[in-house]
């Protein structure tokens, strides 16, 4: 109760739906008991529906919240753990709202939801109803809560698992089946849910502006001037002293068959030039023992 995350739960779809139900069914004759948060939205919803502030009792373990409730006319409000203070109030109550923030387990500070449910069953008006919310931060919380209702001889006409600041479970209980109450709350919850979660209309996709491409600047082709190759001028070989087919007089030294070295003069005919540049000649002799 003092750990109730009021700011986080204030925008809860389930919290809003329950408060709308309270305002819808409240009238000047209704008697209600509410475990309310620091916002006092649930007790205010009952008053907005027509309930007399003095007929609405607020319970909270925080004395400052209870003082604020008394300041709004809820004179019988009391602070403390619900299990310890509920027995001080006698019904019948048309509406009992046990807006717990804890689990369906017994706690060290004296909270025992089974005792609260027995009290609610005993002090609920014949056509009244009780609402309880539990945190699911325990093992098998839903079945534990259902067992509490069954042990207190209350009928679950509506239940819902949802999420606000943590995973939660909510149940509406009566002394006998009450289909109209279930249908009423289902319509309120569906309407609140649709209002809280409007369909998201997708905005049209923004079209990217067309990028005008810059015209390509064609660079003028630079024609390279043709390089005129210099003609190779063949060197004309210097005229040699003697040409082919010239007849030339030459001196020769030759060794005879007897071993004597003798000098001869001869007129020769130049035939051709070898690759090594050496002339070749035909020798002609004027004597009777000439040879070629």
266: Cα separation from own chain's centroid: 116
CB 54 within 8 A of CB 73: yes
Supply angle C-alpha 130, 131, 132, rounded to 5. Answer: 125
CA dihedral 109, 13, 139, 60 (to 10 degrees): 10
Exposed/middle/buried for residue 15 (C-beta within 10 Å: 0-12, 13-18, 19+): buried
Distance in angstroms (rounded) separating the CA atoms of residues 264 and 1 = 152
The span from the CA of 260 to the CA of 254, in Å, is 8
> What is 253-264 written as a DSSP string?
EEE-TTS-EEEE
Please report, for residues 54, 57, 58, 83, 196, the alpha-carbon distance to residue 75 in angstroms, rounded to integers and kept in the order given: 6, 7, 9, 20, 34
Per-residue pLDDT at 69: 96
Phi, psi of 133 (to 5 degrees): -125, 140
- Domains delineated in the chain: 7-196 (3.40.50.150), 247-284 (no CATH)
What is the per-residue burial (b if ≥16 Cβ within 10 Å, else e) of 209-219? eeeeeeeeeee
Between vectors from CA 62 to CA 121 and to CA 28, what angle results, nearest 5°? 50
The whole-number pLDDT of residue 119 equals: 97
- 142, 152 in Cβ contact below 8 A? no
d(CA 108, CA 116): 16
Q: What is the pLDDT along the chain (292 residues), one digit of tens a residue?
A: 445 455 666 778 999 999 999 999 999 999 999 999 999 999 999 999 999 999 999 999 999 999 999 999 999 999 999 999 999 999 899 999 999 988 999 999 999 999 999 999 999 999 999 999 999 999 999 999 999 999 999 999 999 999 988 999 999 999 999 999 999 999 999 998 888 655 545 555 666 667 777 777 777 777 777 776 777 766 666 555 656 666 666 666 767 677 777 776 666 655 555 556 565 655 555 455 544 3
């Amino acid at each position: 109760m003092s750990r109730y995350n009021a700011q986080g739960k204030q925008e809860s779809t389930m919290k809003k739906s329950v408060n709308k139900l309270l305002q819808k069914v409240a009238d000047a004759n209704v008697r209600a008991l509410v475990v309310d948060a620091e916002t006092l939205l649930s007790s205010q919803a009952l008053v907005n529906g027509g309930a007399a502030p003095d007929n609405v009792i607020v319970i909270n373990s925080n004395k400052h919240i209870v003082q604020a409730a008394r300041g709004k006319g809820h004179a019988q409000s009391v602070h403390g753990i619900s299990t310890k203070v509920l027995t001080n109030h006698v019904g019948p109550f048309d509406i009992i709202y046990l807006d717990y923030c804890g689990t369906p387990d017994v706690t060290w500070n004296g909270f025992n939801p089974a005792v609260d449910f027995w009290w609610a069953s005993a002090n609920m008006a014949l056509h009244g109803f009780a609402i309880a919310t539990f945190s699911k931060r325990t093992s098998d919380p839903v079945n534990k809560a259902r067992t509490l209702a069954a042990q207190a001889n209350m009928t679950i006409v509506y239940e819902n698992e949802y999420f606000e600041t943590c995973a939660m479970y909510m149940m509406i209980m009566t002394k006998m089946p009450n289909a109209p109450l279930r249908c009423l709350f289902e319509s309120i919850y569906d309407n609140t849910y649709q209002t809280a979660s409007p369909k998201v209309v997708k905005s049209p996709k923004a079209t990217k502006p067309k990028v005008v491409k810059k015209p390509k600047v064609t660079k003028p082709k630079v024609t390279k001037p043709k390089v005129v190759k210099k003609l190779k001028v063949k060197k004309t070989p210097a005229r040699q002293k003697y040409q082919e087919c010239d007849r030339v007089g030459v001196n020769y030294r030759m060794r005879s068959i007897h071993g004597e070295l003798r000098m001869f003069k001869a007129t020769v005919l130049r035939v051709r030039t070898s690759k090594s540049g050496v002339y070749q000649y035909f020798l002609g002799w004027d004597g009777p023992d000439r040879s070629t």
